[in-house]
Amino acid sequence: MGMSPALSPRPNPPGSNAPANAAKARPLVHLLNHKTVPSPSLASTATTPGGPDEGLAEEMNDVVKNQFVFGSRLGEGTYATVYRGHYRDDPSKLVAIKKMKKNAEWQDGINLDSLREMKYLAELHHPHVINLIAVFTTKDENINLVLEHLPRGELQDLWQDKSIAYGGADVKAWANMICQAVWWIHENFVLHRDIKSNNILIAADNSLKLADFGLARSFANPEADMTYNVITRFYRPPELFLGSSHYGGCVDMWSVGCVIAELACREFFIFSETDLQHLVRICDVFGVPTEAEWPGISKLRFWQEQLENSPPKRPQPMSWWRNKMPLIGDAGIDLVKGLLAMDPAKRLDAKQALAHHYWTTAPKPQKRENLPGKGGKAAEKAMGEQLKRVGPEADEEKMSKIARKLDFGAMR
Amino acid sequence: MSRAAHAPSASTKRAGEDDDICPVCKSSRYLNRYMHFLVNPECYHKMCESCVDRIFSHGPAPCPIAGCKKTLRKARFRTQTFEDLKVEREVDIRRRVAKAMNKEETDFETLRDYNDYLEEVEEITWNLILKVDVEQTERRLRRFEEAQKAELNPNAVRRSVDAGPDTSTLSETSHVILKKGGAQRKAQNVPSGNMPIPEDETGFSFRGLKKRKAPEPEKVFDPTSGWSVDPTYYNVKDEYDHKFFAVKHEPRFYAFGYKAPEYYSHALRDAFGGLGVFLEDDRTSEEMDFGTQAAAIAVGGGRDVDMNDVF
C-alpha cells in the first residue's frame, strides 16, 4: 500500500485535466486521515477526540457535506443505500451518493470494503474509472461516498438485452475502454480483483467506468500471502482456483478477457454451477495445462487434487473461436486468447493488451457518441442496484466456507 | 411517383380522365373499358396507355401531338396526379428546383440573407413555370447544382469533368436522339463557344452564406487516449542483482502469476513517489482554508510507506 498518487510523480494525462482531478480528491484525503488512518505526524494534532482539532474536522466535513443535496433514493442494499443527488450550487450537476450503513459486524471503525473503495478511488483518477468526488459523514456517523452519476446502467445489461443490437466496432470501443481503465489502475499498482461486466457502468456520454473497488488491494510484496478467494467465479483465473497466494495484475487481465469474450458472444463466456466445476469448464476450452505449458504449475496448492490425474485435453481449435465470437474477428480472438492464457506468466498484461494489433485493425472502434445503449429510469435504477450491491465482504465469507468444503477427490 | 400501370378497375376513375377520348388514337372508354391515360413530364400531352405502348415501345420518339416536337421516352410516362395539368407541371418544377436549391436557414448568417435566397428560388421557379428566360434560368439552376456538388464532394466533380461535358443541354434538339452514347458524341462536336458561361450570369453567389467547414480528418486511434505514466526520475531495469529479488526464479512466484517487473516498478514508484510534486503549486485557493500544512505533509510524506522496502 505504498503510494498516494495525489502526490505521486505527476501522471501525464492528455490536456490539463489531471491537476483539477487531483485537487478534487484532496478534502477526502484529509477526512480519511482524520477518521481512519492516523499517520504519525498527524496523531499529535488531529486525531485525539475532543482535541483542539476537532472543530476544524467538523468544519471541513460540513463544508463538503453542504456542497451536495440528497435527491430520490435509487436503491437500497444490505451495506449501503444509494441516492441521487446534485451539487447545491448547480442542480444540473448530478451525483450518486452512496450512504454506507453501519452494520453489526463492524461496530468500530469503517467496514473494510468501503474503506478500500475510498482509499483507492480517492487516488485513481481516469476517464474510465468511476470518480469519487468527495466523502463526508452525516450526524449519525454514516459515511457518504459522493460518486459520479452514471445513468446508463451496467455493461452486463447491455449484452443481456437482446433488443440492443451492436457490432464489432462497438465491442472494440468498449473493450478498449475497459483495457484503459485496468491499465491505469495497474499502472498505479492497484488490483481490482472483482472485474466483471456488472461492475462496469456506463456514463451519460457512453464511456465505461470501472466501479466497485470493494475488493481492491495494492500489489503485494513478495513475502505477503494474498487470498485466492477473490473475483466472481465466472471471471476468476485458473491460478486462483489452484490456490495461488502470490499473484499480480494478471488476475484482473483474465477477468478483462472474460468480459470482452462475453461482449463478443453475448453470453457468459465460461459458466458453471460450482467452483470445482469451473476449472473443468476452463480446461474444456483451453485444455488441461501441463508442466511444459505452464512451468511450475505443480507447485500450486490445489494442483495435485485438481489436475494432476485428469486426462489430457486439447484446447479448442480456432474454428470454435471463430464460430463463438464472430463479432471481433481474428485479431480480437487473438487478444482474447492472449488475455485468457492459462499460464499467468504468458498472459498479456494491461500494457501489452493496449499495444495489441486488434485496436488498429479494421473496423475502427465506434465513436463514443454512436455507441448503442439504453437510458432512462430503468438504467438509472440499475446504477443504484449496482452501487448498493452486497459488499464483497459477505461474498468472501461465503466463498471461504465453500472453499473449505471443496472435495478435490471428486475431480478424478 | 411514377406508378407501374396496372390494369385499373373500371370503377376507379382517375383524375383527368373525364373526357375519355384519347387525343392520339381517338379511342374512347366505350371502345376500351380499361383505357388509362398517361402523361410525359417533357410536354404533358396526354395519351392512352396503348398509344404509349405502340409509339414508344421501340425507343424514344417525337410526341405525336401536332406541333409538339419533344422527344419522349416510354420510361418517363406516368399517371398524372393532379387533374389540372398546369398544377401537375408546377409541382414537378417546384420539386425539381427544391431538390437543387435546398439550402436551409441554418446555412445563412442572417435571416435577411435567407429570405433573399428564398426570393431567388421563387424567381427561378416562376421563370420556369411561366417559361420566362427558360434557357438562362435552366443554366442558372444547373450551375447552382454543380457548385453545390463541388462543395459537397470535390473529387466527384473533378471526375465528372474528366469524363466529358454535360449532355443534358442538348435535349432541345428537334430530331430523335437514339442513344446516350450518340448524344455524347454529338456533344463533343458542338462548338465549345457556348459552353463557358460568364461568371456574372451564374446567379448563385448568395450573400451571407456560411462557409462550409470540411470535417476534421479522423485522428489515428490511440488505445491509451494519450495517457502515460512513464517515470521521470528513474528507469526500471529488467533484472536486479539482489537476493531480495530472487522472486523471479522461484516457481511459487512465476508460476503463481506474481511478476517481478511489477514488483520492481512498484518499489521504485514508492521510493520516488513524491518527488517533483510541490504542494504549494497543487493547492487551490479554496483548499487553503482547510487542511493544515501538517496534514498536507502527512499525506505526502508519512502515510503508508512500507518501511520494509529496501529502497
Residue B230, in any domain of the structure: no
Q: Would B127 be classed as within a structural domain?
A: yes
Q: Is residue B196 part of a domain?
A: yes
Detail the residues of A annotated as belonging to a binding site for ATP: 99
Pick the CATH number of A155-411 from 1.10.3720.10, 2.40.50.360, 1.10.510.10, 2.40.10.340: 1.10.510.10
In a domain, B218, yes or no: no
The whole-number average pLDDT for the span A256-265 is: 93
Confidence of residue A4 (pLDDT cuts 50, 70, 90): very low
Suggest the residue from A219, A303, A356, A366 to mutate for an interface test with chain B (most B CBs closer than 10 A).
Answer: A219
Give this prediction's pTM: 0.61
pLDDT of amino acid B212: 65
Give domain status of residue B208, yes or no. no
Q: Mean of the pLDDT values across residues B21-46? A: 88
| B197 and B105 both lie in a single domain | yes
Q: Matching CATH topology for A5-148 and A155-411?
A: no
Annotated binding site of A: 99
Chain A positions in Cβ-Cβ contact with residue B268 (cut-off 8 Å): none
ipTM over 0.95: no
pLDDT band at A57 (very low <50, low <70, confident <90, very high): confident
**pLDDT > 90? residue B289:** no
pLDDT for residue A379: 64
Say if residue B75 is in the same domain as residue B39.
Answer: yes
On whether both B66 and B96 belong to a single domain, the answer is: no
- What is the span of the domain harbouring residue B29? 14-82
| Among B residues 271-300, those touching chain A with beta carbons less than 8 Å apart | 272-277, 279, 282-284, 287, 290-292, 294-295, 297-300
- Per-residue pLDDT, B228: 74
Last residue of a domain, one of B202, B227, B259: B202
Nearest CA in chain B to A241: B256
Q: Where on the phi/psi map is residue A122: left (φ > 0), alpha (ψ -120 to 50), or beta?
A: alpha
One domain, residues B120 and B181: yes
Do B192 and B106 fall within a single domain?
yes
DSSP category for residue A77: -
Judge whether B36 lies within some domain. yes
Pick the residue with more confidence: B212 or A213?
A213
Q: Write out pLDDT tens, residues A288-334.
A: 888 888 888 888 888 877 777 778 888 889 999 999 998 898 999 99
The residue with greater pLDDT, B75 or B216, is B75
Q: State whether B225 and A10 contact (CB < 8 Å).
A: no
User: What are the tens digits of pLDDT across the range A357-379?
Assistant: 998 888 888 888 888 877 655 66
Question: Which of A50-54, A184-188, B68-72, B242-246 is least confident?
Answer: A50-54
Q: Which of B226, B251, B292 sits opposite A296 (nearest CB)?
A: B251
- B8 vs B250: which has the higher pLDDT: B250
* A194 carries an active-site annotation: yes
List pLDDT tens digits, range A185-219: 998 899 999 899 888 999 888 889 998 888 888 88
Residue B25, in any domain of the structure: yes
Q: What percent of chain A has pLDDT over 90?
A: 18
The answer to whether the Cβ–Cβ distance between A13 and B284 falls below 8 Å is no
pLDDT score at B267: 84
Are B303 and A39 inside 8 Å of each other by CB? yes
CA distance A328 to chain B (A): 16
Give me the DSSP letters along chain B.
Answer: ---------TTSPPTT-SS-B-TTT--BTTT-TT--EEE-TTT--EEEHHHHHHHHTTS-EE-SSTT---EE-GGG-B--SSSSHHHHHHHHHHHHHHHH----GGGBSSHHHHHHHHHHHHHHHHHHHHTSSHHHHHHHHHHHHHHHHHHH-HHHHHHHHHH----GGGGG-SSPP--HHHHHHHHHHS-GGGSS--HHHH----TTBPPPPPPPPPPPP-TTTT-B---SS----S---SGGGGGGG-HHHHTTT--HHHHHHHHHHHHHTTTT--HHHH--HHHHTSS-HHHHHIIIIITT--TT---
Top residue of A39, A176, A230 to mutate, by most chain B CBs within 10 Å, is A39
A6, A127, A294 ranked by CB distance to B225: nearest: A127
Q: What's the pLDDT band for B125 if we cut at 50, 70, 90?
A: very high
B138 and B173 assigned to the same domain? yes
Fold entry, domain A5-148: Phosphorylase Kinase; domain 1 (3.30.200)
Q: How far is A181 from chain B (nearest CA, A)?
A: 9
Q: Does B117 share its domain with B187?
A: yes
CB contact under 8 A, B259 and A365: no
Higher pLDDT residue, A35 or B158? B158
pLDDT digits (tens, 9 = 90+) for A214-239: 888 888 887 788 888 888 889 999 98
For residue B302, tell me if it sits in a domain.
Answer: yes
**Residues A387-408: what's their mean pLDDT?**
47
What total number of domains does chain B contain?
3
Q: Give contacts of B 142-161 with A, CB under 8 A.
A: none
User: Which pLDDT does position A294 carry in this prediction?
Assistant: 87
B109 and B194 within one domain:
yes
Residue B160: the pLDDT is 58
Of B32, B62, B82, which residue constitutes the final position of a domain?
B82
Would you kindly state where each structural domain of chain A is located, as residue ranges? 5-148, 155-411
Which of A113, A157, A170, A194 is catalytic? The answer is A194
